[in-house]
Structure 1
C-alpha cells in the first residue's frame, strides 16, 4: 500500500476506534450449532474485557450459563488489540440463545442450537446453481445464449457452428468453463453418493417447481453432464470454454447479452476447443501442455453418474451412455497428458490451472469402481503418487486457480480400493495439507487456516471437505474442532460478522449488495451463493476496476491485512461463484447428515 494511502487508512481507523472505544464485538455462527459439537464464540474490543459473558435464552427470560472470556494470545491483524474466546460447547439443549455482557450492553446475534440446523440447507445452494443455468434458466424463465458457439482451435474451420448450449454461467459474468463446470458436476454427484438422504426432490429436470422422482442435486448434476456430453461430441474432441472476457461489458441479463464476438451482440459466442497448447485470439495467451485436467475430472463425473443412474435410478441407457463417455474422456487424458488453462482476450486474468495428475487419479479411481478393470486401479495408484500432496495448502499465496480443484477428491475415491499400506499413504497426503492449514490457523484468533487469495472462500470449503473425507477414510476425529471453526467463519465468526452465503440465514447478516447483474439490474436476491470472500489488502489494492459504490458498512472492522466489502463494485470479494457454491454442497450435506 502506498505510504499516503496507508497513513490515511491508519488515521481513519483511529477515528473509528475513538468513536466506539468501549464496544465489545461478539462473533458467532449465525446458521447454528449441532447440540454435541464445539461451540466457540469470538469477542474482540479496543480494551480488555473484564466482565463475565452470559448465555441467555433469546427472550432473555433465563440465563443458561456464565463464562469468563479466555484471552487469545495470537495477533488480530491490527484493528483490535484484544481478542477472547467464549467456549459454550457444554450447552447442548436445543433452542435459541444470545451471548451478552452481564449488563446486557452488548449482545450477539441469535445463536441457534439444533440437530436440524443444517437440514436441507444444500437445497438453497442448488437454488443458486439453477439461477446460473445457461440455456433455459428457471430463475428468470428465459432462454439465453442459443448461439453457443462458433469454433476456434477445433478440427473444423474456425467459426463453424458447434452446439455448446447449456451448462452454467461461471459467476456474475456469463462465461462458461469446463474447468469449473466439470468439477461442479463431479462434486455434486459425489456429495449425493456419500449423503443421499440429505437431499430433497422439489423441482423437475428444468428446475421448475414439482417433484420428478429424482433428487434435485441429481437434476442439477445432469445439467452439467448433458453439457459435458455436448463438449465431447467426438472421441478426439473436447470444448473447454465458451466466450471470454469480451463478455465484460457492464451489467446485462443473460438473454440480452450485448457482448459481440464478431456476429453481432446477443448472438454467437466463441467456443474454444482444448488442444493442449497455448491459446489466445488476442495478445494474452494461455499456457497449456495437455488435456488431462479437464478430461480426468470430466471422466470422474461420468463414471460416478454411470453408477447412480444404472444402480439407483434403474436407468441402464443413461448408465451405459455415461460409462462410455467416462472411458472416452479418460483415454483423451491419457493420450494428451498435461493441463489446459482458461483463455483471456482483453485482460490478463484467467484460470491458470497447472495440475492434472489429481484429476486423472480421480477419473481412474471412479472408473475402476464402475468397471473393476484393474488397469484403471493401476493408473489411479500411479497418478496418486504423482499428485501426492501437491496443493495450494502449504503456501501463503498462489496464482489464481493454479492448484485446481482446491481439494483432490481422487485420494478419497481411491482409498477404498487400495491395500492397507497405500491407504496409510493416501491418508497421510490429506493429513499433510490439513496440518499446513492448522499451523497457519494457529497464528490468528479466528484459527482460520487458508491464505486470503482470490476466492479464499472456495479454499475454505475445500479445506473443510478434505477434513470430512479424511475423517470418513480413517475415523480420526482429530480435526473435527478445526473443521467446525472453519465452517463457523463462513457463517459469521469473522471480523465482519457476516455469512459468506447469500441470504443464509435469512434473518442474519449476509452478502446483500453482491456483484451480479441479477442484483444490479433486477434487485433480486438469490439464496445460497458463496461469494469469493476476503482477500489480502495487497491483492485488493492491485486489482483494476475496483470501486465501492456506497460507504463501507464494515469500515470499523477492515484492517491492513485482509478486507471484505459487501458492495456491488467489489468483484474481488463479493461476487458469488458457481463452482464455489457447488463445491460447498458436500460440506453442507455432511453436517445435515450428522443428524
Structure 2
C-alpha cells in the first residue's frame, strides 16, 4: 500500500472495541468515507464526515467521520472519496490487551541493578548496573547502598518524586481494575500469588526505602551520576561515581504518600513488607512535621542531571496526609489534610503530575473508607467533577477529540494526555457518567495514531510507531527495534533541544515532534509517562 496515500486520514492503529466511539479524522477536507474489510476488500459501511474546521493545535483543517455503529469484529481500513487509505486496524473487544501488557512490561525494562536476561527481556538484554554505593553529596565520607529501582527516563538517574508518581498510578490501577492484571507479564517474579503489577512496583518501592535516611526519616531527592553519559551508553557501562542529592521535602512527602499506599495494597500479600512501608511512611511524616517551610530543591553546584526542582511542597504534604489517614485512620492525619487544603488550592487540587501531586491526595480522600468531613468531601468531589467537565469541554471542541489546549503541547505532553484521561476516568467512577469515559477513550485513540502526525507514540505498537526514542538502552544495545512499550513524550512547541530548534521551528504545537534520538524534549521516554497510560488502558481491558 502506498503510504503517501495514508497521510490524510488518522485512526487508532491498534483498533477499537466493538461498542466504543470510532472516529476517523480527515486532514484532506470533508466528504464521503468507507469502512472496508481489509481481507475481502468489501465495503461494509459508508458515511459522510462533518464539515471541515480549523484546528489550531494541529495547524490545519480537520473533519471527523463517525463509524461507531459498525461493531462486527474484524480487520478494516478507511478509504475516502479522495483516495486516501488508512492503516489497517482491528475491531475487537480485546484489542488493548497486548498494549496494556507491553506498557506495564516496560517497567521491567527500566529496572536498574539487575541483569535483564533473554528469557524475560528477549533481545533487549543488559548486564547488572549501578551497584556501587553512592556518595551523599556534601557528606563525601558517607555512602548509601541504593541499588535497584527503575531508571527514570532515557538516562540512568533515579528520582523519588517521579518514581512515586509512577508507583501511585500503577497501585491505583491495580486497586480500581484488578481484573486487568490477571495475566502474567513474564518477569522474574511471575508465577507467585501476588499480581505481577505489585511485584514490579515492589522493585521500585524497595529502592525508595533505601533512599530514606535512617537517622532522620528524611528522603534523599535523587540518585545520579554528576553528568549524563553519552547517548549510546549501556547501563552497565555507565560507571561514573554515583551521588545521592540532599534530602528534600518534596521527595519526603511523595515517599510518605507512596509508602502509605503500599501498606494498604501489599497487606493481603505480605504483611511484613506492608508494615515496613507504613513505618517508613510514618517516619517520613515525622520529618515533614519537624521541617515546615523547608527550602525547595535545587541541583547541587556540581550536579547537572535532571533536577525535578519544586519550590513548594504543600501538595506533597497534602497527598501524604491523605494516604496516611486512609491507611491508618488516625485523626492527626485527617486534621493535617484539612489544614493543607487551603495551602494547596492556589496550585490546583486535582493535578496528577510530578510537580503537583495534589490530585492523588484528593483521590485518596474521596475513595477512603474512613470518616470524612462531609463539607470537605463534597467540595473535593464537586471540584474534581468540575475539572473533568472543563476537560470534556476542550475535548468536544478539539478536532482530535482530546483535552489539550494549544499551549499545553509542552515537554511530556503525552503525560498530560494520559493524566487528563485518568482524571476523566476517576470522574466516571465517582459520578457513574459514561460521558467521561467516552472522552477518555479518545485520548487512547490519539496516543496510538489518531493525531496530526498519524503515528503511534508508543514503541512497538501500531503500524507506524516511534522508532528512535531518546532512550540510551535502545540506542546502545545493537538491536534494530527499540525497547517495546515505551511512551514518547510527544509534541513540544517550546523547541527545547538543538534538533527541535533547527527542524521544528514554525510547526504547529501538535506537530512539533521529531522521532529522533537527538530530540530529547519531544521523544524522550519516562516511567511516569508510561504509568498513567497503564492506568487508562486498565480501565478498557479490566471492565
Q: Name the TM-score, length of structure 1 as normaliser.
A: 0.80
- CA distance 1:393–1:567, shift in 2 (3 Å): farther
Out of 120, 136, 141, the residue aligned to residue 151 of structure 1 is 136
- CA distance 1:343–1:436, shift in 2 (3 Å): farther
The answer to whether the 8 A contact 2:259-2:277 is kept is yes
Q: Report the alpha carbon displacement of residue 241 of structure 1 after superposing the two structures with TM.
A: 1.0
Q: Report the alpha carbon displacement of residue 272 of structure 1 after superposing the two structures with TM.
A: 1.2
The 5 Å alignment of 1:542-553 reads 542-544=496-498
SS at match of 1:224: helix
Q: Report the alpha carbon displacement of residue 53 of structure 1 after superposing the two structures with TM.
A: 0.5
> Which position in structure 2 is the counterpart of 1:57?
37
**Alpha-carbon distance in structure 1 between the residues aligned to 2:306 and 2:114:** 28
> Which position in structure 1 is the counterpart of 2:275?
320
Whether 1:26 and 2:17 are equivalent positions in the alignment is no
Whether 1:88 and 2:62 are equivalent positions in the alignment is no
SS at match of 1:479: helix
**Alpha-carbon distance in structure 1 between the residues aligned to 2:443 and 2:347:** 22
> Which position in structure 1 is the counterpart of 2:170?
188
Q: Which runs of 5+ in 2 are unaligned?
A: none
Q: Report the alpha carbon displacement of residue 349 of structure 1 after superposing the two structures with TM.
A: 6.4
The 5 Å alignment of 1:18-167 reads 25-45=8-28, 48-50=29-31, 52-77=32-57, 80=60, 82-102=61-81, 105-119=83-97, 121-138=99-116, 139=121, 140-153=125-138, 157-167=139-149
Aligned residues: 520
- CA distance 1:148–1:87, shift in 2 (3 Å): farther
**Alpha-carbon distance in structure 1 between the residues aligned to 2:140 and 2:305:** 23
- CA distance 1:531–1:593, shift in 2 (3 Å): same
Whether 1:241 and 2:222 are equivalent positions in the alignment is yes
Q: Report the alpha carbon displacement of residue 78 of structure 1 after superposing the two structures with TM.
A: 6.9
> Which position in structure 1 is the counterpart of 2:384?
430
> Which position in structure 2 is the counterpart of 1:255?
236
**Alpha-carbon distance in structure 2 between the residues aligned to 1:514 and 1:167:** 21
- CA distance 1:402–1:468, shift in 2 (3 Å): closer
- CA distance 1:23–1:97, shift in 2 (3 Å): closer
Out of 491, 495, 516, the residue aligned to residue 452 of structure 2 is 495
Q: Report the alpha carbon displacement of residue 215 of structure 1 after superposing the two structures with TM.
A: 1.4
**Alpha-carbon distance in structure 2 between the residues aligned to 1:38 and 1:78:** 22
Root-mean-square deviation (Å) = 2.9
> Which position in structure 1 is the counterpart of 2:297?
341
> Which position in structure 2 is the counterpart of 1:8?
none
Out of 360, 370, 376, the residue aligned to residue 409 of structure 1 is 360
- CA distance 1:141–1:191, shift in 2 (3 Å): same
> Which position in structure 2 is the counterpart of 1:178?
160
Whether 1:226 and 2:206 are equivalent positions in the alignment is yes
SS at match of 2:8: strand
> Which position in structure 1 is the counterpart of 2:400?
446
**Alpha-carbon distance in structure 2 between the residues aligned to 1:403 and 1:201:** 33
- CA distance 1:63–1:342, shift in 2 (3 Å): farther
**Alpha-carbon distance in structure 1 between the residues aligned to 2:100 and 2:396:** 30
Consecutive aligned runs of 4 or more in structure 1 exceeding 6 Å deviation: none
**Alpha-carbon distance in structure 1 between the residues aligned to 2:74 and 2:312:** 46
SS at match of 2:165: helix
Q: Report the alpha carbon displacement of residue 425 of structure 1 after superposing the two structures with TM.
A: 1.3
Q: Which runs of 5+ in 1 are unaligned?
A: 1-19, 258-265, 277-290, 395-400
**Alpha-carbon distance in structure 2 between the residues aligned to 1:419 and 1:228:** 32
**Alpha-carbon distance in structure 2 between the residues aligned to 1:222 and 1:478:** 35
- CA distance 1:510–1:391, shift in 2 (3 Å): farther
**Alpha-carbon distance in structure 2 between the residues aligned to 1:424 and 1:393:** 14
- CA distance 1:352–1:441, shift in 2 (3 Å): farther
Out of 224, 237, 242, the residue aligned to residue 269 of structure 1 is 242
Q: Name the TM-score, length of structure 2 as normaliser.
A: 0.87
> Which position in structure 2 is the counterpart of 1:578?
527
The answer to whether the 8 A contact 1:35-1:92 is kept is yes
**Alpha-carbon distance in structure 1 between the residues aligned to 2:452 and 2:192:** 43
Q: Report the alpha carbon displacement of residue 366 of structure 1 after superposing the two structures with TM.
A: 2.1
The answer to whether the 8 A contact 1:198-1:592 is kept is yes
**Alpha-carbon distance in structure 1 between the residues aligned to 2:86 and 2:486:** 24
The answer to whether the 8 A contact 2:9-2:86 is kept is yes
SS at match of 1:465: helix
SS at match of 1:388: helix
The 5 Å alignment of 1:378-417 reads 378-388=335-345, 390-391=347-348, 403-405=355-357, 408-417=359-368
Q: Whose helix proportion is higher, 1 or 2?
A: 2
